[in-house]
Amino acid sequence: MGAGILWYNIAILIYGGHYGIINGNVCSERAGFMIFKLGELFCGPGGLGLAAKRASIENDKYKIFHEWATDYDRDTCRTYKENICNDRPDSVIHRDIRKLNMKTLNPIDALVFGFPCNDFSIVGEQKGMDGVYGPLYSYGIKGLLTFKPKWFLAENVGGLRNSNDGNALTVILSEMHEAGYSVFPHLYKFEEYGVPQARHRIIIIGIRKDLNLEFKIPSPIPYSNIDNSSYAAINNPPIPKDAPNHEFTRQSQRVIERLSYINPGENAFTAKIPEYLQLNVTGAKISQIYKRLEPDKPSYTVTGSGGGGTHVYHWKENRALTNRERARLQTFPDDFIFYGSKESVRKQIGMAVPVNGAQIIFESVLRTFAGIPYESVKPNMESIIYHQEQNKVG
């Protein structure tokens, strides 16, 4: 029996069966007990799933439990199953979202959707709503209308702010509002929250309007003393040689020689490299090509795709990081095993949300529902925050 199911059964025994379904939530009015059953669209390998599973606040009667998750990638689904819900493998559905019948899924109280960011990322062509992936956010809206969860978390890259001349984000937030939610968007800089990586993501928290709750952005101040350097993340503690997903890349002699001329923080274009080792690249020169980490600073953004020179490079050794080292920069624990080919694992890690950063946000949601105050900051975006009061007719 899995830990989540065991805990759920113990709770029923403790509270003497005083359970009912209240607005779709399993809870006890007498005990003030609330379990949020979580559904995930575009679930990825489980960064958000693990963060939700770990989320814990001062009032331990508030919890988030996995109900179901879905993704189009087979390896990703296996990774999620094995690490998040190996006692309920059938709760992970491997299917293209466009062919998924949401009405066949179990009721949920909370929805998470990190809709694909390919068309919004500053690394790509930024096709926005006109790309293949841009319109997929609409399935998150469909999920809100289908399940009417008490709250949701939506995630995407910072480039979403400027997509389609800034209109894409406005449209998305407006549709969330029209679905019945107050929305609280914020551009999180995860390195400010103790994550050893400069990863900037827009996270939108939505709370159903009838609940009359306001989500506040958690302050990064409580995490300012965390050592989030690349060195600490990768070396403390040392990664065991037999750790899963820790295979080293076989670098060519030419790449090894090129790296030997690159100092920490430099890349293939800023370092003084002999002409015969320089890259023959025209047009834009991406700053992360063969870029070495700086050991005393957080890593630059770990990505899930890209050709030679995009694998994140060790500050001292002439090599790319292993997938396990990249996973540490994403704050996955060493016992979290990724499945699939080496390149598939790299993609899964690069597309994930940092576990520790996401956990902070989930815990803030739980505190919001539990009525527990926490240190907060003002949103750093021009927020389109809708409240029920704004729509009342006098």
Please identify every residue annotated as catalytic.
117
Nearest to 144 by CA among 188, 118, 176: 176
Phi-psi group of 242: left, alpha or beta (phi > 0 → left; psi -120 to 50 → alpha; rest → beta): alpha
Scan for tokens 């965390």, then name that residue: 226
Alpha helices in 69-108 (DSSP H): 74-84
CA distance 210 to 388: 7
Alpha helices in 237-385 (DSSP H): 253-260, 323-329, 342-351, 355-370
Report the sign of the C-alpha dihedral through residues 208, 214, 217, 223, in that order: negative
CA distance 152 to 110: 5
The DSSP string of 235-260 is HSSPPPTT-TT-PPP---HHHHHHHH
* Helix (H), strand (E) at residue 5: helix 3-14
Whether residue 274 has a cis bond before it, omega within 30° of 0? no
